[in-house]
Structure 1
């Protein structure tokens, strides 16, 4: 089960590819395999001195290379905000607070730049991946708050059809979107990173790579909480002093190889959901 494509509202971006192109890419370089630092025969004093100088020189160059690689950028994940395909971006956080205000419990008032667009996209993904989307009233509120007026009007009907009583029943919820007594319905989006695929003064295209949690935690649950990996791409417009969603789409992955972690019990999952709150995400 996933967000967006499961409910078909990701199709709101069908015209998006006609506006922008390109895709983000992050490359990770692994350290070279080092040889045995203690191997080899013992050498005389002159050779040892030359070796020491060589080692010190290599260490200095290595430190300089690391410092160069870790230099902070301007918060944008695009090598060129003027357009075109983005290059590999620095993954370090900017350290800047994204916003200091909220509207309807959702972070708002993002800055009018590439960093603000990324922060907005990450926080909007969290809101749209929450359990509030499974209740009609809160879903409509999120649409009006996060989308442009035109997009919200266009999506309200299709979303109501997607979150039908039949669909809610399949995930263990009643027609009002409530779980059975004693059970906890889980739906969370946890952003891993963002990248700007295109940026202009009034429009930005931002991709959010995230891990999702969804399922029912309870003794009688037949749909346990599972994880999924997706990339959620938003086309944002600067409207009314903030970034709003004009269109969005999703695709699978990239997903890492599953680890060997022990699966938690239903009680452990329910307790974690109750005890651990979310974050305001920043680029």
Structure 2
């Protein structure tokens, strides 16, 4: 992904630099029980060099290294920019599928925004935690020129030790009786730069990551982040050339009762995802 692009990083510095995207690993927090989870306490610990950003990889790293969550919500800035329309507009932007990933977008800003949203969903899915399915996702969403280097970096990032810390097998599977959850839900998109055959799109996302099950010690928690994707028109479709990820904007958590592990697992297995269109 990062091909010499400088980006603002997670927590204002986690990603960026020239030639690579850097992920700042969050520290662990105090233990908590399922249902009391809010947001993990984050602190600097070390850096993982990755040639791109994968949606929810940062959240997964935090999940793998934490012992619990901070009690209470974190307030954000109360800026109130004019909202863009959230309903799909114009012509049908998605023409087909490559595997489970929508592909075949219009060569315009609307098509680029639709591509960025759907690619964010794919890159934040459980498919990224298995080497074979991860390769399929990366090859479908990225320009061919960046795929080999990116896969090498991601194979290193999704190591056996990392997966074990998540409570997963070396193949990215959850233990018997538990459900691994990794989902990204785009909230909105906007174009921030436009060239002849290139568009930069920001995707504001809400994500879920964790293990749902009666014996889970790392429950499913939510995270908010913004993905910046630099898309290039390649072989008749939009493909990611580089990207970066930053934390937030994060709303104040509401007073909803936290669901049980079984309710979360049932919801994830019972509710399908969407094809996003601008």
Q: Which runs of 4+ in 1 moved over 3 A?
A: 4-11, 88-93
Q: Is the 2:230–2:240 Cα contact (8 Å) retained in structure 1?
A: yes
Alignment match of 1:27 (pick from 68, 81, 84):
81
Alignment match of 2:52 (pick from 12, 18, 43):
12
- Please tell me whether residue 240 in structure 1 is matched to residue 235 in structure 2: yes
Change (3 A) 1:9 1:215: farther
Residues 107-162 of structure 1 show CA distances to partners (whole Å, capped at 9, x for unaligned) of 01000000000000000000000000000000011111111111111101110010
Q: Which residue number corresponds to residue 117 of structure 2?
A: 122
Q: Which residue number corresponds to residue 85 of structure 1?
A: none
Q: Which is helix-richer, 1 or 2?
A: 1
Q: Which residue number corresponds to residue 143 of structure 2?
A: 148
The aligned runs of 1:3-82 (5 Å cut-off) are: 5=23, 8=48, 11-12=51-52, 27-28=81-82
Q: Is the partner of 1:158 in helix, strand or coil?
A: helix
Q: Which residue number corresponds to residue 161 of structure 2?
A: 166
Q: Could you tell me how far apart the structure 1 residues matched to 2:125 and 2:180 are?
A: 10
Change (3 A) 1:235 1:172: same
Q: Could you tell me how far apart the structure 2 residues matched to 1:240 and 1:90 are?
A: 30
Give the unaligned 5+ runs of structure 2.
Answer: 1-20, 26-46, 54-78
TM-score, normalisation: structure 1:
0.70
TM-score, normalisation: structure 2:
0.71
Q: Is the partner of 2:196 in helix, strand or coil?
A: coil
Q: Could you tell me how far apart the structure 2 residues matched to 1:8 and 1:282 are?
A: 33
What's the C-alpha RMSD, in Å, of the aligned pairs?
A: 2.0
Q: Which residue number corresponds to residue 276 of structure 1?
A: 271
Alignment match of 2:211 (pick from 209, 216, 219):
216
Alignment match of 1:253 (pick from 248, 252, 255):
248
